[in-house]
Chain A
Amino acid sequence: MSRTTTRALGVLSRLAGMAATLLVTSFLVFSSLYLAPGDPASFLVRGRSAGPDELAQIRHRYGFDEPFFVRYWDWLGGVLHGDFGRSYVFHQDVGSVIWSRLPSTLLLIAASALLIAVVGVAAGIVGALRRGTRTDSMLMLLVTVGAAAPAFVAALLLRSLFGVKLGWFPTIGNGTGVLDRLHHVVLPAIALSVTFMAMVTRVTRSSMLEELGREHVEVAVSRGTPRWTVIRRHVLRNALGPIVTVSALLISGMLVSTSIVETAFGMSGVGSLLVTSVNQMDFQVVQAIVLLVVAAFVVVNFLVDLVHPLIDPRVAAAGSAR
């Protein structure tokens, strides 16, 4: 079999694995509704006054009078077409409720991802190159505290200091217009990044240290390759695999943490929507967001799996040998 065929088969089998994971996920999320005690229809209208007619209407509309698996199949079909049902609170399609809040959450995530990648990796490189020095010890201390500083603590401190005390940044809301939005997103992005930055720093440092000790690095040095070329092309380049893998695993935690950060900073977005929807018992929205977060995690990790052979050609070799 040619190498491209084996590669294609590998991608296909991973694709099938991802589809299976997503299927199980959707089933779990869907059936969680049925875990609630009592009648699912009355569960959906909790906290709202609904007469028997209305309940019967809901039962019919949501197909509760149909068998479970038929109902699941319909729902899944809807989800695949972007139809997540209807929100009770907003009287809108769940899809459009989420869609309208997605841009601000994506901005927050993009800003944090940038911070995490740049600062986290840079700090890890510095730590590895200055191993054992005071700089390294300080960094490791920051990493230890940072990894234990949840977003709500970081948000609290950043708001108090840079928002309230110094007045450099707004403390609440999303802002309007490009610049104002960016101004509003600075503190939330930092608050969201702290924990993940610490983790990326740690994995970068240890991965770099492992590569620094390798003989091919010594060979490169012995050939008079300039220090930064060695670090870039031989140490960091080879350390990239673990850094990318770990970063991809952090995605889901980061997506959930947007709910903390958006709530703390009074921002409108998908994260805060999740919290308000739980509070307002808007179950359809909660279900959709949970599904989206898990799907995002699964897809991102699938993509990382796909690009891994580019980062480390040995992976491709091991894959085709199997």
Chain B
Amino acid sequence: MSAPMAGLTRGPAARLRSLGGSRLENLCLGLLVLFVLVAVFAPWLSPQDPTYGELGTGLVGPSADHWLGTDQGGHDTFSALVEGSRTSLVGPLLVVLVSTVAGIAIGLFSAWRGGWADTVIGRLLDVVFAFPALLVAILAVAVFGKGMTAPVIAMSVAYMPYTARLVRGLAMQEQARPYIAAYRVQGHSALYVAVRRLLPNIGPTVLAQSTVNFGYALLDLAALSFLGLGVQAPTPDWGAMINQSQAAVLRGQPLSAVVPAVAVVVVVVAFNIVGENVGDRLAGRKT
């Protein structure tokens, strides 16, 4: 009822923003589709073999042969970018899939059982929450050696509490609604109600969370490769590309590092914007 205070806030441009928002959102959605398509069809799209380093053609600028130039070892940056999209897609995808499924299961169980089980799970999630994903990934590399497998599994655990808490909260809310009680009264088992009725109702919100998680998982895995602990040469990877171009950066030729850096930021921004807007829209708080 009380209108926002005149004199403290300024300017009514909300309508403009909502218009721009949806256009931006479509652009981001388009970018994500492009990203997935490029990752899927990478071998057919990349003009050259990104693992083939041509001697004497290191650090050349953009040309007809090398659209985005080459790195220090003479690898074609554009091809590496295209092929590197695959690891950038697959790693986070696995993390998000595993953490989402596990998170849903744990969250639902916690909400449904309540009582001490809920308390214990909550405390354990708190502990996991204290471990940042990248740290868990680094620890996994320290134990199991370099590569992607161990970090991806470890990060799935690290990301799980976000989904688990969200699902638990949503499930608690939904449980209080009459329709769930109606199903229970009709004699349907808790599992049936959870899977058939509850999940479709909380699914979209969880999907939005997972979309945002994808972006952050991509950042963490790229960081791991940047540290030289993740994807190993010769497999092309955006984080690794930046790592391998460090010397070129110091020589004032940062193109082969800037290209994957921009790709990482653009893809993550797109994931965040799509995730947040999808979440807002589905939750009915479209502003």
Direct contact of A and B (CB under 8 A): yes
By a beta-carbon cutoff of 8 Å, the part of chain A in contact with chain B is 17, 20-21, 24-25, 28-29, 32-33, 35-37, 128-134, 137, 144-145, 147-153, 156-157, 159-160, 164-165, 171-172, 212-213, 215, 217-218, 221, 227, 230-231, 235, 252-253, 255-257, 259-260, 263-264, 274-275, 277-279, 281, 283, 286, 290, 293-294, 297-298
Interface of B is mostly: helix
Instruction: List 5 A-B pairs, minimum CB-CB distance, nearest first.
Output: A148-B268, A160-B254, A132-B13, A153-B261, A133-B11
Q: Looking at the assembled complex, report how far the CB atom of B153 sits from the nearest CB atom of chain A, in whole angstroms.
A: 11
Interface of A is mostly: helix
Asked if A144 and B269 make an inter-chain contact with CB atoms under 8 angstroms apart, the answer reads yes
**How many A-B residue pairs lie within 8 Å, measured between CB atoms?**
169
Of B132-140, B167-175, B182-190, the stretch lying at the interface with chain A is B132-140
Residue with the highest number of chain B CB atoms closer than 10 Å, among A33, A148, A257: A148
Asked if B219 and A130 make an inter-chain contact with CB atoms under 8 angstroms apart, the answer reads no
CB contacts (< 8 Å) of B8 on chain A: these are: 129, 212, 217, 221, 227, 230-231, 235
A294 closest partner in B (C-beta):
B130
Q: Interface residue tally of chain B, by bracket?
A: 35 or more
Asked if A25 and B127 make an inter-chain contact with CB atoms under 8 angstroms apart, the answer reads yes
> Do A221 and B7 contact each other (CB < 8 Å), given the known contacts A150-B222, A164-B250, A278-B142?
yes
Asked if B10 and A263 make an inter-chain contact with CB atoms under 8 angstroms apart, the answer reads no
Q: Taking the complex as formed, is B144 at the interface, i.e. its CB lies under 8 A from any CB of chain A?
A: yes
Asked if B141 and A293 make an inter-chain contact with CB atoms under 8 angstroms apart, the answer reads no
Asked if B134 and A152 make an inter-chain contact with CB atoms under 8 angstroms apart, the answer reads no
Extra contacts, 17 of them, besides A212-B9, A260-B227, A286-B139 (Cβ < 8 A), are: A21-B126, A25-B127, A29-B139, A35-B143, A36-B144, A131-B9, A148-B215, A153-B265, A159-B250, A164-B252, A172-B250, A230-B8, A231-B8, A274-B138, A275-B229, A294-B130, A298-B130
CB contacts (< 8 Å) of B132 on chain A: these are: 252-253, 255-256, 293, 297
B140 closest partner in A (C-beta):
A32
Asked if A259 and B215 make an inter-chain contact with CB atoms under 8 angstroms apart, the answer reads no
